[in-house]
Structure 1
Amino acid sequence: MSTEQNRMSATDSKTMISGGLEGIQESLKKINVDYSWWQDAFDNVTAENSSWVSSNMQVGVSESGTMDLLVIIQPDGRVIYSWTRYSGKASDPNILDHASLKALVDSLQDVPTTDVQARAQFMFVGEDLYLLSAARITPVDTTSVRPGQLPINIMGFHFHDERVAALGQSFLTPDLTVSKVVREGRMNIPLLDGDGKNIAHLTWSPPKPGQKLLAKSATPIFIVLVMFSLISVVVAKAAKLSARELANKEKSSYVAARTDGLTGLPNRFRFEERLRNQHIVAASRSGKLSILFLDLNDFKYVNDTLGHAAGDTLIRQVAQRLTNRLPKKSFLARVGGDEFTILLDAENAKAETTAIAIEIINDIQHDFHLCDKTINVSVSIGFAIADGKALPEELVRRADVAMYDAKKRRLPKPLQYKTEIETNIVKSRKVIEALRGALIEETLDVHYQPIVAAKSGELKSVEALVRWNSEELGLYPPASFIPLAEESGLIHKLGLYVFRRVCDDIAQMPDLKVSINLSPVQLRDSTLVDAFATILDETGVSAEQIEIELTEGILVTHPDIAKARMLELKRIGFSMALDDFGTGFSSIGYLRLLPFDKLKIDRSYIMDIEFDSEAAAFTQTIVNLGRALNMSVVAEGVETQEQLKIARLAGCDLIQGYLFSKPLSLACLKQWKQGPQDTLRLSS
């Protein structure tokens, strides 16, 4: 009995430590993928922006305590950033030697660029043992990149004595150590490098609960042989208790490896195990399974403005709301930073899934209280219904695709996966690549629509409007390609391209004042103002010749960022206009607090002004509001004499629309400006 119990305990301890080690490796690879499949990371690493890497990647892993080493390698093999928790600063490019770097890079040779994965291996850094993980830093769109064009992100976890000892306590092996040589009588698990070679071992003394049992029982058995029956009962009970304690500890270790430490929910490892469950596979084949993929919107904004502690609190509160909402037959897991998945087994899968998803969206929209602040967030949900053919893993992928599309479109409702979504994604990627090429080749045009004085018809300014006539796609409207530019991150390059073209054109017409539309995504860019100032210096144009137009969306979603950035732009000399006023939800309070100089009435009201008394009354109200706030008012989209007459009677200061001119190229604008002005249009 003693020998058998020793053997079983030794087997169990090796199983627990192997499972825990595997969990550490999977956690390391997951964190590396989270930091590597990131458009901002790709852009800034490619640009070798070390300050961004330090403040966003290195600080992220160091503050959370998840990593001890970070090394960034460019495709040409140069180390552009290197940091360890013990170096104090990112200054030593020789943290990893050439052979180690090559081994880590070579481990990614079989990974396609369309599938962001991480590879992990043990390696000595000097005399210290590390578990190192390598992954390619990959943009959102991977269709036009090759493995050799991508930087490599290396993250490391230091297996120092204190950490190994702590792991040993978790695995119920208090003398767990790392050793290059295994002493006789010690159990061990080999730690392998990328070539499968043993470079060290986790070693520990095999547990021997049988000897303890024997020590307790041998003396009474030897002394009082006549009491054998009574002692055997005591021994049996002690053995049962010892086995029960061992089973409970093993169960605790098993659960810990499969549980999210922040929320207490099942983690990605447990979720993937659940997908392979026979019951789940059977439900998928019978068409009774649905999978929901959830992602919080603006979670990064909460972390950036309130801190990671507030972000963690938000995740816990969201997890609690989801737990309270879901039926018992569901399975909820946290699979990423702000990502959750739900397995639902239901007779009427589509109806039940849709109803639950709508309830979740409504629950998440209620106020959250974090750090003495009240915030609002939303959630994007995609879901996939089993069709009897696809395996559960494929349903997860489909739900993820639907969630991505719902998030991109900011849908306020759940979105079911359809093949058309992936078709549209492919089309969008094609447009994005064509737009990227147009920016490189500088084939985009900028046209200008005149804005005239309402009373005299005198030209006061023009609005710059980007135009794209693609050889492949034809004349492609801004309303279609600008959202794709925002989604892909190209909006920053597009905005600077248009700004520079406008400045170059102003240099040819120095008396011209130009309005430029600014995307909300651009306004959130902390480098925007400096970039504009640099272009102004290079072209010799004054900021007073340029007016920045903003829509109401940025004022509602990020009012603090909007105000700070607007004040920076105003300090340089730009004037500010609120575009499409009346179509959003901004309040008079925003107008009083933000430094706007002009209001532009949306063309949807001007189009109806002849026939709709409410539209005319609304126009008059905006004019009165503008005067009260000392702002000029522009009527957009004026196309008829009657619309012009009513806009003038309402008191609009400026007029813009096809009645005077469509958007013109710079050459046509010069001719239009020099030609005779049709003052008859202005007769009442």
Structure 2
Amino acid sequence: MLNDLRVCQAVLDALTEATVLKDDERKLIFINQKACELYGRPREELIGKEYSFFNDGDQAARQRDRDNEVLATGTKCVYEETLIDASGKRRNVLVRKTLLVLENKNYILTSIMDISLLRSSEAQIRYLARHDVLTGLPNRTALNEDLSQIAAQRMYNPEPHALILLNLNDFNYLNDTYGYQAGDAILCEFGQRLRNEVNGSGTVSRIGGDEFSIILRNNPTQETVHNLALEILIMMRQPFTLTRANPLVTLSFGIVMFGSENITAGEIMRRGNTALLEAKQRGKNVFSFYSELLDASSVSKRIMVKALAESLVKEGDLSCVYQPILRSHDEKVVCVEALARWTHGVLGAVSPVQFIALAEETGLVIQLGEIILRQACREIKDINTLNLAINVSAVQLGEANFADRIISLLNEEDFPFTRLELELTETSVMNANATSLTHLSRLRQLGVKVSLDDFGTGYSSLSLLKDISVDSVKIDRSFVQYVTEVNDTAAIVSAVSQLGNKMKLNVIAEGVENQLQKAFLISAGCSHLQGYLFSRPVTIDILLSLLDQDHKLNA
């Protein structure tokens, strides 16, 4: 049949695939070394026998059918199977069957390629594509696929579901404080805690750096979801386990209930993010359910953002008012705080509480701050006896060219550096990076003063005073309000005043509303006072009129 059996055998043995040649009675004629290893038997035992690589009855029958098909039609056959090799290891293999005609006789050439590693790699790739490497939880891709599947099945499976989007608050602060390895440990522990809380009734995913999600199945009601949310908040009261610390971590999350309505995966996520944003605005360790009212609020916000952006490039909508700051011992006005006001042609007068927060959230505060500072410099410049205080947000302080902006503007307006005072909240200073602190240092070297606003309401007020260089501290109005009524508050104000005096800082009490508060604050050592007792924020014209009264304001 074949002229040189030894050459044929050598060729077969050189192949990396298990290869056999069967005659039309399915008996083995040739077999290579790789096939012998797969069978776990020597070649001498196999030649002339009807053997199959597949011992399972169904598989063996399938092989016979494929052999018959190749012999009958001459069609090449390629397919995948699984088999157990001689060592008992399960393998994924690709089987190829081809008809050979030699000396007018039909033969079946069968080769088996081991693709176990390939299939394992593909499975690993599929796993990694849908799972977070750090926590092992499903990722955003898996979440989107699950939501799309749920949305597609709503016609014949309209049972209710719930989506919870969760966000760990101030996670960058945790990373900076404890290190990134500790941050990773917190993420892993938090993910495991969520899985324990859900307990098989849903899917927990990590969908971003500090973002997680839960899809709840099994017909959750709003009551059961509400109870789960409360349990999650109780769980968050337990400190996280680190080697040298046990930090308490806060959480915000938004919840969406959805079921039979016609809704896409993207819309479910949008509603979840709307609810999450509402929770974040309400505080920490807070959750919020989505409702159409939140959408109405979002529409209102978008309208206001558009209107504010338009007003920033239009003259007349934005203006300054000024609240005097007095020296305590003679009640002389020595400084004014510039405050932004916005009056829109359609929206009317918009509360600063609304538009300042919106400007910070959207980044418009950078342009807004520049407009207000420029206008204030022009209006106050010629009043040589007055300093100008202006608020600076964390967003502005974080700008890469923050100091350059201030220096350029002051030079353009010919406003003395020594008459400008920047008011920053202690939280924004504490969270500032090294570059931002360098900006402040550079400005102070040029004569610009720095004041810590809302002093006492942040993380670690006293330590800040020794870590950064400031000229003034402003005692927050929340302390001043109760200074004559609550002993603890009075003690705090006195302690801060004494500390400020020892450090040769100006101590400014804001929110002074009555004579009793004024008397206490002066006796406690506050060097400067500000509040409605002396003047509300006023326009430049009214301010000039007040200053004409010997720079002295009496209640």
Deviation at 1:647, TM superposition (A): 2.4
Which residue is equivalent to 2:451? 577
Instruction: Tell me if structure 1 keeps the 8 A contact 2:332–2:553.
Output: no
Distance 1:568 1:222, change over 3 A: same
Which residue is equivalent to 2:527? 653
Matches of 2:522 and 2:159, distance apart in 1: 63
Deviation at 1:440, TM superposition (A): 0.6
Query: Amino acid of the residue matched to residue 131 of structure 2?
Result: D
Deviation at 1:535, TM superposition (A): 0.8
Alignment of 1:280-679 (within 5 A): 281=153, 288-298=160-170, 319-320=191-192, 322-323=194-195, 325-357=197-229, 363=236, 366=239, 378-391=250-263, 393=265, 394-408=267-281, 410-442=283-315, 443-558=317-432, 563-676=437-550
**SS of 1:472's equivalent?**
coil
Deviation at 1:461, TM superposition (A): 1.0
Query: Amino acid of the residue matched to residue 381 of structure 1?
Result: F
Query: Amino acid of the residue matched to residue 262 of structure 1?
Result: V
1:375-399 Cα offsets, whole Å, 9 max, x none, are: 8865432121225425472433321
Which residue is equivalent to 2:28? 221
Deviation at 1:262, TM superposition (A): 2.4
Compare 409-418 and 520-529 and name the one that shifted more.
409-418
Q: Which of 81, 92, 101 in structure 2 is aligned with 1:245?
A: 92
Instruction: Tell me if structure 1 keeps the 8 A contact 2:333–2:552.
Output: no
Q: Which of 260, 268, 278 in structure 1 is aligned with 2:131?
A: 260
Instruction: Tell me if structure 2 keeps the 8 A contact 1:321–1:363.
Output: no
Instruction: Tell me if structure 2 keeps the 8 A contact 1:262–1:312.
Output: no
Instruction: Tell me if structure 2 keeps the 8 A contact 1:318–1:364.
Output: no
Query: Amino acid of the residue matched to residue 440 of structure 1?
Result: V
If you compute each CA radius of gyration, which structure gives the higher value, 1 or 2? Answer: 2
Instruction: Tell me if structure 2 keeps the 8 A contact 1:554–1:562.
Output: no
Instruction: Tell me if structure 2 keeps the 8 A contact 1:365–1:378.
Output: no
Query: Amino acid of the residue matched to residue 384 of structure 1?
Result: V
Distance 1:587 1:346, change over 3 A: farther
Matches of 1:642 and 1:412, distance apart in 2: 38
Matches of 2:458 and 2:206, distance apart in 1: 34
Q: Which of 40, 47, 51 in structure 2 is aligned with 1:232?
A: 51
Instruction: Tell me if structure 2 keeps the 8 A contact 1:555–1:586.
Output: no
Deviation at 1:531, TM superposition (A): 0.8
Instruction: Tell me if structure 1 keeps the 8 A contact 2:455–2:461.
Output: no
Instruction: Tell me if structure 2 keeps the 8 A contact 1:635–1:656.
Output: yes
Instruction: Tell me if structure 1 keeps the 8 A contact 2:422–2:451.
Output: yes
1:405-450 Cα offsets, whole Å, 9 max, x none, are: 3345554222211111111111111111111111111321111111
Instruction: Tell me if structure 1 keeps the 8 A contact 2:377–2:413.
Output: yes
Structure 2: tracts of 5 or more residues without a match: 1-15, 31-42, 61-80, 85-89, 94-114
Deviation at 1:552, TM superposition (A): 2.9
Deviation at 1:267, TM superposition (A): 3.5
Distance 1:646 1:287, change over 3 A: farther
1:313-339 Cα offsets, whole Å, 9 max, x none, are: 776665455445542232133444554
Instruction: Tell me if structure 1 keeps the 8 A contact 2:164–2:255.
Output: yes
Q: Give TM-score, length-normalised by structure 2.
A: 0.72
Distance 1:521 1:566, change over 3 A: same
Matches of 1:611 and 1:308, distance apart in 2: 45
Query: Amino acid of the residue matched to residue 122 of structure 2?
Result: S
Matches of 2:364 and 2:122, distance apart in 1: 47
Which residue is equivalent to 1:194? none
Instruction: Tell me if structure 2 keeps the 8 A contact 1:217–1:235.
Output: no
Deviation at 1:616, TM superposition (A): 3.7
Instruction: Tell me if structure 1 keeps the 8 A contact 2:164–2:272.
Output: yes
Deviation at 1:312, TM superposition (A): 7.1
Distance 1:676 1:379, change over 3 A: same
Matches of 2:503 and 2:342, distance apart in 1: 37
Query: Amino acid of the residue matched to residue 497 of structure 2?
Result: V
Matches of 1:480 and 1:594, distance apart in 2: 31
Matches of 1:301 and 1:678, distance apart in 2: 45
Which residue is equivalent to 1:270? 142
Distance 1:678 1:485, change over 3 A: closer
Query: Amino acid of the residue matched to residue 272 of structure 2?
Result: A
1:554-578 Cα offsets, whole Å, 9 max, x none, are: 2454576764443333233221222
Distance 1:431 1:556, change over 3 A: same
**SS of 1:440's equivalent?**
coil
**SS of 1:232's equivalent?**
coil
Distance 1:280 1:316, change over 3 A: farther
Compare 559-568 and 626-635 and name the one that shifted more.
559-568
1:116-135 Cα offsets, whole Å, 9 max, x none, are: xxxxxxxxxxxxxxxxxxxx
1:284-319 Cα offsets, whole Å, 9 max, x none, are: 965541111234445667889999999877766654
Matches of 2:269 and 2:217, distance apart in 1: 14
Deviation at 1:464, TM superposition (A): 0.9
Matches of 2:346 and 2:551, distance apart in 1: 39
1:273-294 Cα offsets, whole Å, 9 max, x none, are: 3335479946996554111123
**SS of 1:245's equivalent?**
strand
Structure 1: tracts of 5 or more residues without a match: 1-210
Instruction: Tell me if structure 1 keeps the 8 A contact 2:394–2:428.
Output: yes
Matches of 2:203 and 2:21, distance apart in 1: 46
Distance 1:659 1:410, change over 3 A: closer
Instruction: Tell me if structure 1 keeps the 8 A contact 2:324–2:337.
Output: yes
Matches of 1:240 and 1:387, distance apart in 2: 41
Query: Amino acid of the residue matched to residue 245 of structure 1?
Result: N
Query: Amino acid of the residue matched to residue 313 of structure 2?
Result: I
Matches of 1:641 and 1:326, distance apart in 2: 57
How many residue pairs get aligned? The number is: 471
**SS of 1:441's equivalent?**
coil
Deviation at 1:484, TM superposition (A): 0.5
Matches of 1:232 and 1:452, distance apart in 2: 103
Matches of 1:458 and 1:439, distance apart in 2: 34
Deviation at 1:473, TM superposition (A): 1.5
Alignment of 1:155-234 (within 5 A): 215=20, 221-222=28-29, 231-234=50-53
Distance 1:620 1:240, change over 3 A: closer
1:135-187 Cα offsets, whole Å, 9 max, x none, are: xxxxxxxxxxxxxxxxxxxxxxxxxxxxxxxxxxxxxxxxxxxxxxxxxxxxx
Instruction: Tell me if structure 2 keeps the 8 A contact 1:293–1:341.
Output: yes
Instruction: Tell me if structure 1 keeps the 8 A contact 2:474–2:507.
Output: yes
Instruction: Tell me if structure 2 keeps the 8 A contact 1:436–1:490.
Output: yes
Query: Amino acid of the residue matched to residue 271 of structure 1?
Result: L
Deviation at 1:241, TM superposition (A): 0.7
Deviation at 1:226, TM superposition (A): 12
Q: Give TM-score, length-normalised by structure 1.
A: 0.60
